């Protein structure tokens, strides 16, 4: 096969304990999946799950023990952090039942759904797509993917984020409105899940702005710590 220009490099995330990387196909994100975050955004938390996507090349893989760098994005004056449990799909499927979801999961990671909150808010108000608020360059920093067998019980894991050493978000994955199996059931009714898909499962309350020079550090249970510094706009 030849192309009219060199295809872009495959987006990929390291896998803990393995030499092979996890090739990213799509990034699905669940909106408002913790009650107290839904409430802080002005909703009840009782609505059915809904989804948006980020491009695969929005990932910024950060090795365990490293501090990644994310450039402050253009156009926004209100860049928000959202710490999330990320589910990595290893076996695709459609119409997957929640009870069968586990066998489709390759592993888990800690991720940040970085958000241009001012632009997202403007798009919401106008009934327009969220892409400009959610799906920009470097909007998905992520730690190494931990294979499911090594991840422990992520369903009861503490999830937290600190900015410059101070607590911003702290909750527990058990507080998800739609749990991992239910999320996969809903997602796979709408899209054919594929190996390489990542699912950002939603963020707990406490989302807030970050500025150039801030260091974000977050974790989910036994999945390690994700550390990112906000760099000046490129």
Q: How far is the CB of 83 from Mn ion (least distance, A)?
A: 9
* Nearest to Mn ion of 113, 197 (CB atom): 113
CA 220 to chain centre: 12
Q: How far is the CB of 28 from Mn ion (least distance, A)?
A: 11
Closest residue (Cβ) to Mn ion? 113
* Nearest to Mn ion of 29, 193 (CB atom): 29
Whole-number Å distance between alpha carbons of 159 and 172: 5
User: Residue 220 interacts with Mn ion (CB under 5 A)?
Assistant: no
Asked if 154 contacts 101 with a C-beta cutoff of 8 angstroms, the reply is no
Q: How far is the CB of 174 from Mn ion (least distance, A)?
A: 18
Strand partners, 21: 14
- Pattern of binders to Mn ion over 196-215, x per CB under 5 A? -------x------------
User: Residue 188 interacts with Mn ion (CB under 5 A)?
Assistant: no
* Nearest to Mn ion of 82, 185 (CB atom): 82
Whole-number Å distance between alpha carbons of 170 and 158: 7
* Nearest to Mn ion of 82, 197 (CB atom): 82
User: Residue 173 interacts with Mn ion (CB under 5 A)?
Assistant: no
Q: How far is the CB of 51 from Mn ion (least distance, A)?
A: 10
**Total residues in contact with Mn ion, by rule CB under 5 A:** 3
* Nearest to Mn ion of 50, 95 (CB atom): 50
3-class DSSP state for residue 101? helix
Q: How far is the CB of 31 from Mn ion (least distance, A)?
A: 7
User: Residue 171 interacts with Mn ion (CB under 5 A)?
Assistant: no
The burial of 153, by beta-carbon neighbours within 10 Å (0-12 exposed, 13-18 middle, 19 or more buried), is given as exposed
Site for Mn ion in 58-117 (CB under 5 A): 82, 113
Angle, CA of 88, 93 and 98, to the nearest 5°: 75
The burial of 197, by beta-carbon neighbours within 10 Å (0-12 exposed, 13-18 middle, 19 or more buried), is given as buried
Strand bridging mode 198-200 / 27-30? parallel
Q: How far is the CB of 140 from Mn ion (least distance, A)?
A: 10
Helices within 99-145 (DSSP H only): 117-126, 131-134
* Nearest to Mn ion of 104, 117 (CB atom): 117
User: Residues in the site for Mn ion, rule: CB under 5 A?
Assistant: 82, 113, 203
């Amino acid at each position: 096969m030849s192309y009219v220009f060199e295809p872009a490099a495959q987006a990929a995330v390291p896998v803990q304990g393995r030499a092979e990387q996890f090739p990213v196909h799509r990034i699905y994100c669940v909106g408002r999946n913790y009650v107290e975050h839904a409430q802080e955004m002005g909703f009840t938390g009782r609505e059915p799950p809904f989804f948006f996507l980020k491009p695969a090349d929005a990932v910024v893989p950060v090795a365990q023990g490293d501090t990644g760098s994310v450039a402050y994005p253009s156009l926004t004056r209100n860049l928000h952090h959202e710490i999330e449990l990320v589910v990595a799909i290893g076996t695709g499927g459609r119409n997957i039942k929640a009870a069968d979801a586990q066998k489709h999961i390759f592993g888990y990671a800690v991720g940040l759904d970085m958000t241009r909150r001012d632009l997202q808010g403007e798009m919401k108000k106008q009934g327009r797509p969220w892409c400009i608020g959610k799906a920009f360059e470097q909007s998905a920093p992520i730690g190494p993917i931990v294979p499911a067998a090594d991840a422990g019980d992520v369903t009861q894991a503490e999830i937290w984020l600190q900015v410059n050493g101070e607590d911003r978000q702290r909750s527990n994955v058990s507080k998800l409105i739609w749990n991992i199996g239910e999320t996969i059931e809903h997602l796979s009714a709408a899209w054919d899940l594929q190996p390489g898909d990542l699912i950002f499962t939603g963020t707990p309350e406490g989302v807030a702005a970050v500025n150039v020079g801030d260091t974000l550090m977050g974790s989910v249970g036994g999945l390690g710590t994700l550390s990112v510094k906000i760099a000046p706009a490129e």
